[in-house]
Amino acid sequence: MLVDGKWSGDWHPVQAKDKKGGFVRQDSQFRSFVTPTGEGGFKAEAGRYHLYVALICPWASRTLAARKLKGLVDVISVSIIEPELGAEGWRFAEGADEVNHARYMYEIYTAADAHYSGRATVPVLWDKQTRSIVNNESADILRMFNSGFGDLAKNRIDLYPEHLRPAIDALNAAIYPKLNNGVYRCGFATTQVAYEEAYHEVFAMLDELEERLASGPFLFGDELTEADIRLFVTLVRFDAAYYGLFKANKRRIVDYPNLNAYLTRLLAISAFRETVNISHIKRGYYSVKSLNPIGIVPLGPDGIDLDGTGL
Ligand SMILES: N[C@@H](CCC(=O)N[C@@H](CS)C(=O)NCC(=O)O)C(=O)O
């Protein structure tokens, strides 16, 4: 991580621990918004903003799916980092960052704030005009892509419709700790107690969602919303990474008929399918040395060989 703008120590996945040894994720520090009028400093303009992502990362992949669903592909450019996490955190392949020509993701943070302390996470929404980070919280970026770019977004789909907002917020608030972040709490637990607590919450939530998705096609009936994007990115990584590496191994998603049908339904939509790259996902997760010291990347499971470009 960065301390006062300097990279310090080797990268380690466990960000902080609670009293029981449970994994605690750091809060995002850049929280500004792009708006159609520019109030708050960031005006929606084509070509002005750049998104830094990793295809392994569920949070970053939320923003890639929203960018495509909203028809913002020509408005917001993207750089994709390498899937493996090394001693200096995320790394760019030669020439991958055409905007800042960075070698490591932490350089984007120090370019925005020379004294930044914290982790250099993705996604990051970068403003080419002021050379600063607008936002590094995927939940915010999802909302920004939904409405902050106004008419620049070619597609009219509303991922956070007014009449569903309280219900979407309530569902997000349940799914995030128990499932989206729950799998990480399982994988990065540092005590048996913390692992077991997370494990039970993950599968209780999957059971609940299996029941909910008996009627569909989406979490809120016929309306595809941000809640579907947020669930999708976890489900599509589950059997390939979380089941094995994170020891979330009571059941796989293919073992849940409704969840599996839902995942297949979403994968038929190009914005979802093309933002999934299973090889990046496996290489990235299985590169975490503390969980997989020898670094062997599993070949299976069969049947989920997606190699989307993310764009
Ligand atoms: N709150 C952030 C979390 C982002 C996050 O934790 N990203 C991970 C990748 S999946 C990351 O970049 N980790 C690098 C690190 O923690 O040093 C969001 O949702 O945008």
Q: So which residues are the catalytic ones?
A: 57, 184
Does position 15 have pLDDT exceeding 80, yes or no? no
pLDDT at 216: 87
CA 283 – ligand 1 centroid, Å: 17
Binning pLDDT at 50, 70 and 90, where does residue 40 land? confident
- Domain 162-270 fold is Glutathione S-transferase Yfyf (Class Pi); Chain A, domain 2 (1.20.1050)
Q: Which CATH architecture has domain 2-152?
A: 3-Layer(aba) Sandwich (3.40)
Residue 251, classified by CB atoms within 10 Å of its CB into exposed (0-12), middle (13-18) or buried (19+), is middle
What is the whole-number distance in angstroms between the Cα of residue 122 and the centre of ligand 1? 5
Q: Stretch 126-139: mean pLDDT, rounded?
A: 98
pLDDT of residue 14: 75
What is the chain's mean pLDDT, rounded? Answer: 96
Q: Which regions of the chain carry the CATH code 1.20.1050.10?
A: 162-270
Within 6 A (CB) of ligand 1 lie 11, 15, 25, 28, 57, 59, 89, 119-123, 137-138
Q: For the chain, what percent of residues have pLDDT higher than 90?
A: 91
Q: Rounded mean pLDDT of 158-167?
A: 98
Taking CA atoms, 178 is separated from 122, 123, 183, 186, 231, in Å, by: 21, 21, 8, 10, 11
Place of tokens 């070619």: 154
The reported pLDDT for the residue numbered 2 is: 94
Percent of the chain with pLDDT over 70: 100
Tell me the average pLDDT across 38-63.
Answer: 96
The DSSP secondary-structure symbol of 255 reads G
Question: What is the 3-class SS of 225-253, one letter each residue?
Answer: CHHHHHHHHHHHHHHHHHCCCCCCCCCCH
pLDDT band at residue 132 using 50, 70 and 90 as cut-offs: very high
What tokens appear for 25 in the block? 């994720």
- Mean pLDDT to the nearest integer, 48-64: 98
Q: What is the pLDDT of residue 107?
A: 98
**11 Cα nearest atom in ligand 1:** 17
Look up tokens 């914290």; give the residue. Answer: 118
On the question of pLDDT at 9 being above 80, the answer is no
Q: If we measure between CA atoms, which residue out of 10, 243, 197, 234 comes closest to residue 106? A: 10
pLDDT at residue 10, as a whole number: 77
Report the nearest atom of ligand 1 relative to the CA of 119. Answer: 17
Q: Span 265-289, mean pLDDT?
A: 97
What's the pLDDT score for residue 212?
98
The pLDDT of residue 155 = 97
Give residue for tokens 């055409």. Answer: 98
Kindly report, as residue ranges, where domains of CATH 3.40.30.10 are found in the chain: 2-152
Cα(59) to centroid(ligand 1), Å: 7
pLDDT in tens, 216-237: 899 999 999 999 999 999 999 9
Query: pTM, whole model, 2 decimals?
Result: 0.97
Which of 122, 176, 185, 290 for a ligand 1 pocket mutation test, highest count of atoms within 8 Å of Cβ? 122
Q: What is the pLDDT of residues 190-210, one digit of tens each?
A: 999 999 999 999 999 999 999
What is the structure's pLDDT at 13? 82
Residues 72 and 145 sit within 8 Å (Cβ to Cβ): yes
